[in-house]
Amino acid sequence: MQWQCRHRTIDLTRPVVMGILNVTPDSFSDGGRYAGVEAAVERAAQMAAEGVTIIDVGGESTRPGAEGVDAAIERERVVPVIERIARSLDVAISIDTSKVEVMSAAVAAGACIVNDVGALRAPGARAFAAGARVGVCLMHMQGEPRSMQINPEYHDVVSEVSAFLAAERAACVSAGIAREAVALDPGLGFGKRHEHNMALLKNLGHLVALGSPLLVGVSRKSFIGRVLGRAPQERLYGGLGLAALAVSLGARVVRTHDVSATRDAIRMVSEVTEGRVH
């Protein structure tokens, strides 16, 4: 399996790591830590040394209850960082945004993937992605970050998320985006109760069966804290367990704050499930 992302083709024969680089002051886990350009670029270089395949740069927090920011502020946060990473590191760069203006500026700076929690439903987003020939990741979210965790309800969360992702992919392909450029994300923790997240994780195979690369983000999520009673910075081992489960069920991209440990965990799972047996 491959993911076509503008000038890059990402080989997903084995699962890969997408490293999270939040250049925001209010991320739930590392808010403000990499808000400066130098600190962000230094962190990107560290992730590259740890074996990251994709670096996902975000300039607006999407944690539950987060307030939105203006597109101009978001651009000011992400563009200098993306430009520096693109010049200095041989990694794929993803922009984590739902705003077309930010997508355009980020791609011009060197990003080749648009990772959108809004699944490219903003006016002009699909047309931009098609014209720029970027890779896209379509995520399911019920509601919006500010209110998504107030009272999410589903009749059958697995079927509903699956149907949503299939429909949004079809809309993207109709808009001119290559099917090979599309990855899918069930949006764990985005407008979902604990039982919804557990059901999606247990049934990832249903989403893998859609036929596009599946991206899963479990790193430091609140549902890990609920089970283990751990603060965000203490959820590494719980996240590694879920990352290993996800790739064993067919996920191809794991989005994480903890690149080195996650890469080792999914590499070992991949060796068992996909390596040649002697």
Catalytic status, residue 221: yes
- Domain layout of the chain by residue ranges: 2-274
Establish how many alpha carbons lie within 13 A of residue 45's alpha carbon, considering only the half-sphere containing its beta carbon. 9
Interatomic CA distance for residues 97 and 111, integer angstroms:
12
Flag whether the pTM goes above 0.95.
Answer: no
The one catalytic residue among 6, 77, 84, 221: 221
The token pair that represents 182 in the structure block: 């599309």
Q: In whole angstroms, what is the distance from residue 6 CA to residue 178 CA?
A: 11
Kindly calculate the radius of gyration of the chain based on its CA atoms and give it in whole angstroms: 17
User: Do 270 and 31 contact (CB within 8 A), yes or no?
Assistant: no
Q: Residue 80 is encoded by which pair of tokens?
A: 């200098």
Tens-level pLDDT at each residue, the chain (278 residues) = 999 999 999 999 999 999 999 998 755 455 556 558 999 999 999 999 999 999 999 998 776 666 678 899 999 999 999 999 999 999 999 999 999 999 999 999 999 999 999 999 999 999 999 999 999 999 999 877 666 676 788 999 999 999 999 999 999 999 999 999 999 999 999 999 999 999 999 999 999 999 999 999 999 999 999 999 999 999 999 999 999 999 999 999 999 999 999 999 999 999 998 865 54
C-alpha 184 chain-centroid distance: 9
Task: Classify domain 2-274 at the CATH superfamily level.
Answer: Dihydropteroate synthase-like (3.20.20.20)
Catalytic residue among 63, 252, 255, 263: 255
Rounded to an integer, what distance in angstroms lies between the CA atom of residue 21 and that of residue 89? Answer: 14
How far is it, in rounded angstroms, from Cα 82 to Cα 106?
7
